[in-house]
Amino acid sequence: MSPYLKNLFGEEIPPENKKITIRSIEARFRREVIREDAPKWVSMRFTAPQQIFEMFHDLRLEAKEHFIALHLDGKNRISCFDRVSVGSLNQSIVSMRELFKTACISSAASILVLHNHPTGDPTPSREDLDITRRIKESGDLLGIKLLDHIIIGDSYLSFVERGLL
């Protein structure tokens, strides 16, 4: 048997030219490296919806709906920012599969979701209420708690503060 690896065409590759990169997905997300140019919300502890609004209030300027999931560790620090979808003027499609896939990969203890209303009115629509219910139910099945759903407009609306979650 030859000590060389073979490429897709059956050609032998000498050992000094072979490049094998093995990476663990878990290792990539569990690293505790914080860059100097990281956003200021990295490693901050979030305890109130007002803090989220202050951090992400620029979403109110967007012309389309952006649905974002923040993955939090056991101390309510953001470990991952996931822009789940960008929709149209008044709706955004949210797939439970896509939302929780990244939450599972990043080992999130809980999630906090937020989206903007380009109109500026943070009043939840029927679809907002339905999707929040589905996210909560899905998260309960997976053991990833939904902490809050925040709608950002000219002001903000927290589902927890309004008793909707």
With the CA atoms of 70, 147, 138 and 94 taken in that order, what torsion angle do they form, in degrees rounded to the nearest 10? -40
CATH number for the domain formed by residue range(s) 49-158: 3.40.140.10
The vertex-62 CA angle with 120 and 73, nearest 5°, equals 95
3-class DSSP string for 83-134: EEEECCCCCCCCCHHHHHHHHHHCCCCEEEEEEECCCCCCCCCHHHHHHHHH
The helix/strand/coil state of 137 is helix
- pLDDT average, residue stretch 131-151: 94
The helix/strand/coil state of 69 is strand
- pLDDT average, residue stretch 136-164: 93
Q: What is the pLDDT, as a whole number, of residue 126?
A: 92
Lowest mean pLDDT: which of 7-16, 30-39, 102-111? 30-39
Confidence of residue 90 (pLDDT cuts 50, 70, 90): low
Question: 148 versus 82: which is more confidently predicted?
Answer: 148
Q: What is the pLDDT, as a whole number, of residue 75?
A: 84
Q: Cβ(149)–Cβ(161) under 8 Å?
A: no
Alpha-carbon distance of 142 to 24, in angstroms, equals 22
Confidence of residue 73 (pLDDT cuts 50, 70, 90): confident
For residue 155, is pLDDT > 50?
yes
Residue 154 CB contacts under 8 Å (≥ 6 apart), including other chains = 60, 120, 121, 122
Beta bridge partners of 111: 71, 146
What pTM, to 2 d.p., does this model score?
0.71
For residue 70, is pLDDT > 80?
yes
For residue 68, is pLDDT > 70?
yes
